Amino acid sequence: MAKNILEIRGLVKRFGDFTAVNGIDFEIKEGEIFGILGPNGAGKTTTINMILGLLKPTSGTIVVNDIDITRGHGNEVKTMMGLMTQETVVDGDLTAYDNLEIAAQLYHVPKDKIPQKIKEALDEAELTQFSNRAAGTFSGGMQRRLALVKAMVQDPKLLILDEPTTGLDIQNRVSMWGHIKDLVKGGVTIILTTQYLEEADVLCDRIAIIDHGKIKAIGTASELKRMVGTGRMLEMIFEDSSHAQHGAEVIRSHFKVSATVKDDRVDAVIEKWDPRILTEVLSALDRKKIEVSSVNVHFPTLDDVFIKLTGSGMRDSASESYTSARSDMFVRGRR
């Protein structure tokens, strides 16, 4: 059975009167891709920064590979970790080779091993033929792949990927997913934060959803979806909010379920799905001259879980903003 590479117990971080992280507990096993999801300001960034040793917890413990970093072993642990920030931290004036060489030196890779490590990194990123080109001339996808292998050049046991596919088109996003899966096959454990819930569904072995500094749920994607239900999600869009209210009454009457109304939309969870009842609902709506703009029926998704656990309101991201300087702080702290 795989051992825990990370154990977090009772983790709290306060900034004055504000509690950013409020007593969270979780563990990550070797070889996992572990997702941390949450709205802006939920506490994700603060948690990651404490794992990296960039913030000191107010209380609680963080144990990485059997080392408690809250007891003053932060620099020792940093040799085991890699970080890829949301911002693409590559020097556009330098070649791909030079970017990797500098990263290897900052991570204290032995000099005699640097050329081989760079070769392996360029091969992994599919950038070998572009090794002597300035990184600033690369496409967004190429720069993100370079940033990924920069974070891997010292062979970390634990790799933190902060929204690794932000800004990528679908082809490059899928390509990045392949690179991430290959890293895990090579023995790396990954913590992944992402705003793309489909990405978490595809990649993550387990997922923690955090909000207001607390973990709302942890489990596999399938386990989390079962929190919403095992039936179907019914979504109907009506001509206006008045029609939506009347439409909700028809849905409740025919399906014998609760239905929520928001503006011109009605949502309902149908545990015992029967498509014939939907036909009856549409006929009843038509008889009442209630205009339906669209109908969508689907199994519960992580989006449904996310909204159920965290709500649908807009969030202020000011308290959880990342900066590219985080990568520099992390690397400099190892020296």
- Name the token pair of 326: 């985080």
Q: Which residues pair with 95 in a beta bridge?
A: 134
Is pTM beyond 0.85? Reply is no
Please, which pLDDT band fits residue 326 given cuts at 50, 70 and 90?
A: low
Relative to beta strand 206-211, strand 33-37 is: parallel
How many independent structural domains does the chain possess? 2
CA 211, distance to chain mean position in Å, is: 13
Sheet with 292-298, edge to edge strand ranges: 259-262, 265-270, 232-238, 292-298
pLDDT for residue 300: 86
User: Taking a C-beta distance cutoff of 8 angstroms, is the pair 161, 192 a contact?
Assistant: yes
Do residue 200 and residue 79 come from a single domain?
Answer: yes
User: Taking a C-beta distance cutoff of 8 angstroms, is the pair 205, 227 a contact?
Assistant: no
Tell me the backbone φ, ψ of residue 292, rounded to 5 degrees.
-110, 125
For 147-165, write each residue's pLDDT tens digit.
999 999 999 999 999 999 9
User: Taking a C-beta distance cutoff of 8 angstroms, is the pair 35, 207 a contact?
Assistant: yes
Q: Which of 5, 27, 35 has its CA nearest to residue 203?
A: 35
Do residue 106 and residue 237 come from a single domain?
Answer: no
Domain of 276, in residue numbers: 231-299
For 251-290, write each residue's pLDDT tens digit.
999 888 889 999 999 998 888 888 888 898 999 999 999 9
Do residue 80 and residue 166 come from a single domain?
Answer: yes
- Which CATH number do you get for residue 33? 3.40.50.300
User: Does residue 306 fall inside a structural domain?
Assistant: no
pLDDT for residue 318: 46
